Structure 1
Amino acid sequence: MVSKTNLMSALLASVAMSSLAVAEEAGVVEELIVSATRTAKPASTIPNMVTVISPEDLDEQLTLATDTAGILANLVPGFSPSRQKMSGFGESFRGRSPLYLIDGVPQSNPLRDSSRDGYTIDLAVVDRIEVIHGANAIQGLGATGGIINFVTKKPDNSGDMKIGVQAALTTTDNLGDEGLEYRGSIYATQKIGNFDYLASASYHKRGLMFDGQGRSIGVDQTQGDLGDSEQRNLFAKVGFEPTENQRIQFTINDFNLAGDGDYGTLAGDPATGRPATAIAGSPEGEPGTNDVTTISLDYTHKAVADGTLTVQLYSQDFRASFGGGTFGSFQDPAIAPVGTLFDQSENNSEKRGARISWDRQGIGSSGVNVFTGVDYLQDTTFQRLIFTNRNWVPETKFENIAPFVQAELPFAGIFTLSGGLRYENAKLKVDDFQTLAGNRASSDYAVLTVEGGSPSFDDLLINGGLMVEPVEGWTIYTSYSEGFTMPDVGRVLRGISTPGSSVDTIFDLQPVKADNIELGTSVTMGRVQAQASVFQSKSSDGARYVADPDGFLRVQREKTRIRGFEAMLELTVTEELNVGANVSVQEGRVDTNDDGVLDADLDAVNIGPNRFNMYAAYRHGDWSARVQLAHLFDRDFTNAADALAAEFKGYDVVDLHIGYRLESGKMQLGVQNLFDKQYVTYYSQAGTTRGDRYFAGRGRAITLSYQAEF
């Protein structure tokens, strides 16, 4: 690993020096401000790698990838390739799970991870996406891989009512009805005295997807699919400013994404490379669904003890259903003959929380900034079987309170030292419950009673960083931060098969703690924006997913270590031409036999491939164009723990975007997979051996969109 580390360090230095060489005679560009750290800060002052997907970039990418993960994979180094499905299982960020937020409200469900937290809002109402790379605890539970914050549109302050509309149509080469995809959205916004509002409605109908050889792509019957689905989103934000320094804001987001259930799947054959395809018909049971309602009430006062007080109360009701089957785990001879009992599951989670913080910038003449507060979370989760009304995962209650303090100290004009503490105090409560009979198939389907319990956890999480700015616009940083999450408690509880088990004594329910060490540099000068980072993320008791015979996943606790290199470069060549690139290299190791030695590589379910993305964008008058390339490198899994495939064969995908600004709006043409490349997705190649999940990637898809504001 020494040679790899030296190579990464050399690349990091190369990015910094080449960027400075280009920018040394240019002025400083406008600084990006991000809120994912819970207080508005310039991106260059954060001692972590930061990616901000701007409104313009998001607008363009929505014509090139209509799934959230696809957009993140195109623009965020370290984010794994999209599965192009409703489920994000197998999609990771720096080899771990990210924490998804909407305006700071957590969307992740760590007690029973549905892998659906990236699909809780329509991107038509999102203004920008802020991404903080690496494990941290500033936003609380769940960010072992990083933070992905969807910042929604703000009400207009002009006083006039504004109405915005957007419509888009996506088709394949043959213009067939089965492959049509269309979406539309409308919003209205206005400021009336001290009140303002923004209301939005959007609808998205997706048909089947087709691969590079014109074959329909199979629909994931169990995990849920974006193909053959219907999506709608209602969103409203109302604000009131009683004084110049105060604001009260109420936000509601109601989101529903559901399969139409018009197609089944003909299983593919990984051995011969034949992917799964869709066949007309109505599969048994109900199609996969996400049904999510999120409400938040925010209060801000900018003059409390010379600082800013922020209070956020939030609530979320989350329901995710999955396709069914006669899986062995579902069988119970007391209900039906073994092998005939069909059922399907549904996750339910109710979160209630409060986030209180106080921010004081520049205390006295010292220049010290202080940020402190407390977070509270109550989460109640269970997973039931729909048709037999049995709880697969018992009702599980989680309560967490976490006070924190952060401080920044600038000194000597070029150094900034930062650090903080967060004390996590959590309690898990599970009453006595009975397992499914199928857990004990080898013992005549005996139903076990598991003794409940209330295990509690507490930990002091620390972070620290040092930033150096030798010249204006160029920073070098190093940081250490700790992230904290729960393992997938539901997977642990639903898989119990040992008599006499007690919730209080199950080690696998202990929290997962990830330590992130990072060294990086950032350049924001003139025509250049660049970042580079080397990092190491370690967990003494990490959580890795391993498949059982039904294909369901269980949690395996192991020592893990992930090392990597990420870099981004954006260069304004002329006033009309911009070029850019990003690269991500990751290596993960695990201890499979608990002897303290990291003896195997992470498998594809738990870490993404190395990748390189690049683009060129041209603007002239009312015209704009962008061409982008995503290259995924081959990866060998022969030494991976529980590898489901020996290797991953990489591929290249090229996308094209053309835009034209009209007097009354903007027309855009996007071509995803311009050259109609035939490939099998990363997860399907290396993350599963099941023929019914062996899916090709989407072939050429053409999107025409129009948007305007009146």
Structure 2
Amino acid sequence: MRLSQFSLCLLSVAISSQLYAQKPSPAFKEQESSDKTLKLSPIVVTATRTPKTIAEVAGTVQTIQGEEIAQQAGAGRKVADVLAQLVPSLAPSSGTTSNYGQTMRGRNVLVMIDGVSQTGSRDVARQLNSISPNMIDHIEVVSGATSIYGSGATGGIINIITKRADKSKPVSFQTKLGLTSADNFRRDSLAYQVGQTASFSNEKMDGFLGVDYTSRGSQFDGKGDRISLSPWQGSTMDTDTLDVNGRLNFNLTDKQSLSFGAQYYNDEQDTEYGPDYSYLQAGTQPSYKSIKGWNLDKQPFTERYAFNSQYQNQDFLGQTLNVEAYYRNEKARFVPYGYSKDGVNVKQSQSNVDYAGIRSTVQSDLQVAERDLKLTYGLDYDWEKDHQWSDYYTPRALLHKDFITI
């Protein structure tokens, strides 16, 4: 199956006004008292596509800082697991490689990385399996339906902002080591993590480079029995994940800046323990029993290359201009599952996606009838090409009464 499409969208005009403009809002400045200083409201971009404080946004917006993410991001944990703990309206994580069904108040969520949508026309539900928690600076969550970034956000938006250079230091390094284990402390249940970041900063430019590697072992239940991977959504057991993320920022002038970002992400499974395919012959639901002897030419994986560039001009004909261009190539291979009615054949599918586009936003400050108004408008263009196919497998031997090898 092949699918190619493009979309051209004119950003809806948004006008906001201050009814009482005589006094500046307390959210815009630091207020000092004799014993303490009140902090400014966090600046967010996701809700309006232009920088605003949360106090200015007429909606529910949550900012998850890097410190909160680090507290939840133990070795082997995915972004889906972290968000499930920190976003009250988000459904629990399935614990698999997929975020299928992880909705916000029962509705679909648009997942973005640095403002670039990770959801395509063919939803493979791997959006939250596309970046390591150690590469995230903060996350902006917008609750409620919105179309400001196009379709797919009936429940809200989750925008993952990657790490940047530490501008307070000329050169900075950070190393992370992690180890987790199941309750049985078996060697094959351990998860290892090692990460290294480096950044530099000066008046003209700054840069960041991070590498994170995680190796996960098998999963076990409360009785110490090995848990099988799901024949539909897969599993994080016996997977190796490599995430390389980098960004360069250039300060062209006091009002203009240019940024380039790139990422390589590979999450691949390598296990000899497969699902119990006896349900195909018995006509029942799959069990949680894990069977040794799984033999596949290509095991499930997620691989992606992503590039994006951002340009900002704060004095473009008296307005603020933001332009962003992006490209993503993503491959996702799934777990074989039952297909034919005779109860013996299974199929394994793979999806390849190419996604590119450009997004522009212009913000103007106006004054009408002694009221301060803001006009935001822009033009978006998206192009997408999908290619999906399936490999069919037939059992070669019936090793046990409850297992079919493929």
When the two structures are superposed, what TM-score results if normalisation uses the length of structure 1?
A: 0.47
**Structure 1 residue 170 and structure 2 residue 180: aligned?**
yes
User: What secondary structure is seen at the aligned counterpart in 1 of 2:275?
Assistant: strand
Inter-partner Cα distance in structure 2 for 1:98 and 1:386: 30
Match of residue 368 from structure 1: 373
- Pick aligned residue for 1:197 from 207, 227, 233: 207
Q: In the alignment, what sits opposite 1:377? A: 382
Measured in 2, the distance between the counterparts of 1:65 and 1:92 equals 22
> Quick one: distance in 1 between partners of 2:287 and 2:92?
18
> Following the alignment from structure 2 to structure 1, what is the Cα–Cα distance between the partners of residues 54 and 208?
27
Moved over 4 A (4+): 26-29, 338-342, 361-365
C-alpha separation in 1, matches of 2:217 and 2:195: 18
Say whether 1:318 aligns with 2:330: yes
1:221–1:287 CA contact under 8 A, matched in 2: no
Q: Which residue in the other structure is 1:345 paired with? A: 349
Match of 1:671 in 2: none
Q: Which amino acid in the other structure matches residue 157 of structure 1? A: K
Would the aligned equivalents of 2:75 and 2:214 in 1 still touch at CA under 8 Å?
A: no
How much does 1:217 deviate? Answer: 1.9
| Cross-structure match for 2:82 | 71
Q: Which residue of structure 2 aligns with residue 276 of structure 1? A: 288
Contact 2:80 2:93 in 1 (8 A): yes
SS in 1 for 2:352: strand
Partner Cα distance (1:237, 1:314) in 2: 13
In structure 2, what is the equivalent of residue 89 of structure 1? Answer: 100
Hey, what's the Cα distance between the residues in 2 that align with 1:44 and 1:213? 50
When residues 70 and 325 of structure 1 are mapped into structure 2, their CA distance, relative to the original with a 3 A threshold, is closer
**Which of 191, 195, 218 is 1:181 aligned to?**
191
Structure 1: gaps (5+ residues): 1-25, 330-337, 389-690, 693-710
| Partner residue, 1:36 | 46
Deviations 1:252-277 (A, max 9, x none): 111111111331134799xxx99613
Query: What percent identity do the matched residue pairs reach?
Result: 28
Tell me the amino acid that sits aligned with residue 354 of structure 1.
I
CA distance in 1, matches of 2:237, 2:129: 14
Structure 1 residue 383: deviation in Å? Answer: 1.1
Per the TM alignment, residue 326 of structure 1 is displaced from its structure 2 partner at its CA by: 5.4
User: RMSD between aligned alpha carbons?
Assistant: 2.8
Amino acid of the structure 2 residue aligned with 1:367: D
CA gap 1:254/1:215 in 2 versus in 1, 3 angstroms? same
The corresponding residue for 1:309 is: 321
Counterpart residue number, 2:360: 356
1:286 to 298, 302, 305: 298
Aligned-pair distance for 1:290? 0.9
Question: Displacement, 1:186?
Answer: 0.7
Secondary structure at the aligned position of 2:371 is classed as coil
Farther-moved stretch of structure 1 (361-370 vs 183-192): 361-370
Q: Quick one: structure 1 residues 85 and 326, their matched pair in 2 at CA, closer, same or farther if it must change by over 3 Å?
A: closer
Distance in 2 separating the partners of 1:91 and 1:63? 20
Residue-by-residue CA offset, 1:101-130 (whole Å, 9 max, x unaligned): 111011112x21111111111111101111
Give the Cα–Cα distance (whole angstroms) in 2 for the partners of residues 298 and 200 of structure 1. 20
Cα deviation for residue 359 of structure 1 reads 1.7
Displacement of 1:249 in angstroms is 0.7
CA distance in 2, matches of 1:80, 1:306: 44
* Residue 130 (1) aligns with residue 135 (2): no
Which residue matches 1:151? 161
Letter in 1 for 2:235: D
Residue pairs, 1:226-265, within 5 angstroms: 226-265=236-275
How far residue 375 of structure 1 moved from its aligned partner, in angstroms, is 0.8
Paired position in structure 2 for 1:551: none
> Do the aligned residues in 2 keep the contact of 1:230 with 1:258 (CA within 8 Å)?
yes
Checking the alignment, whether the CA contact within 8 Å between 1:86 and 1:119 is kept in structure 2 is: yes
| Structure-2 change in CA distance of 1:180 and 1:159 (3 Å) | closer
CA contact (8 A) 1:210 1:217 kept: yes
| Matching residue's letter, 1:156 | D
2:114 maps to 103
Aligned residue for 1:628?
Answer: none
The 8 Å contact of residues 65 and 71 in structure 1, kept in 2 or not, is answered as: no
Deviation at 1:170, TM superposition (A): 0.6
Q: Is the 8 A contact 1:203 1:233 kept in 2?
A: yes
Residue in 1 aligned with 2:310? 298
The whole-number CA distance in structure 1 between the counterparts of 2:81 and 2:344 is 38
In 1, Cα distance between the equivalents of 2:289 and 2:180? 20
CA contact (8 A) 2:41 2:54 kept: yes
* Structure 2 CA distance for partners of 1:274 and 1:142, relative to 1, 3 Å: closer
Q: Does the 8 Å contact 1:224/1:289 carry over to 2? A: no
1:550-561 superposed matches below 5 A: none
Distance in 1 (CA, whole Å) between partners of 2:74 and 2:130 is: 20
Amino acid at match of 2:151: L
Note the alpha carbon deviations across 1:501-541, whole angstroms, 9 max, x for none.
xxxxxxxxxxxxxxxxxxxxxxxxxxxxxxxxxxxxxxxxx
CA shift digits 1:548-592 (9 cap, x unpaired)? xxxxxxxxxxxxxxxxxxxxxxxxxxxxxxxxxxxxxxxxxxxxx
**1:477-511: CA deviations, max 9, x gaps?**
xxxxxxxxxxxxxxxxxxxxxxxxxxxxxxxxxxx
SS at match of 2:320: strand
Indicate the SS of the match to 1:382: strand
Task: Report how far residue 216 of structure 1 moved.
Answer: 2.1
Instruction: Give 5+ residue unaligned stretches, structure 2.
Output: 1-35, 280-284, 394-401
Task: State the 1:346 CA deviation.
Answer: 0.6
Distance 1:339 1:162 in 2: 58
Q: Which whole-Å CA distance do the structure 2 matches of 1:258 and 1:371 have between them?
A: 42
Matched, 1:212 2:198: no
Name the CA distance, whole Å, in 2 between partners of 1:243 and 1:88. Answer: 42
What is the Cα deviation at residue 32 of structure 1?
Answer: 1.8
- CA distance 1:77–1:267, change in 2 (3 Å): farther
Q: Tell me by how many angstroms 1:231 deviates.
A: 0.6
Write the distance in 2 (CA, Å) between the matches of 1:283 and 1:91: 30
Worse overlay, 46-55 or 370-379: 46-55
Report the alpha carbon displacement of residue 188 of structure 1 after superposing the two structures with TM.
0.9
Q: Deviation per CA, 1:277-320, whole angstroms, max 9, x where unpaired?
A: 33333243422111111110111111112221010000111111
Q: Which amino acid aligns with 2:71?
A: E
Q: Which residue matches 1:508?
A: none
Secondary structure of the 2:298 match is: coil
Q: 1-side partners of 2:161 and 2:191: how far apart?
A: 26
Aligned partner of residue 112 in structure 1, secondary structure:
coil
SS at match of 1:71: helix
Separation in structure 2 between the aligned mates of residue 53 and residue 268 of structure 1, nearest angstrom: 44
Contact in 1 for aligned 2:361/2:379 (Cα 8 Å):
yes
Cα distance in 2 between the residues matched to 1:237 and 1:58: 20
TM-score by length of 2: 0.80
CA distance in 1, matches of 2:150, 2:268: 30
Q: Please give the alpha-carbon distance, in whole angstroms, between the structure 1 residues aligned to 2:392 and 2:290.
A: 25
Q: Kindly provide the amino acid, as one letter, of the partner of residue 340 in structure 2.
A: G
User: Is the contact made by 1:284 and 1:324 (CA closer than 8 Å) also made in structure 2?
Assistant: no
Q: Distance in 1 between matches of 2:365 and 2:388?
A: 45
Which runs of structure 2 are paired with 1:533-552 in the superposition (5 Å)? none
> Residues 210, 44 of structure 1: CA spacing in aligned structure 2 closer, same or farther, 3 A cutoff?
farther
**Partner residue of 1:595?**
none
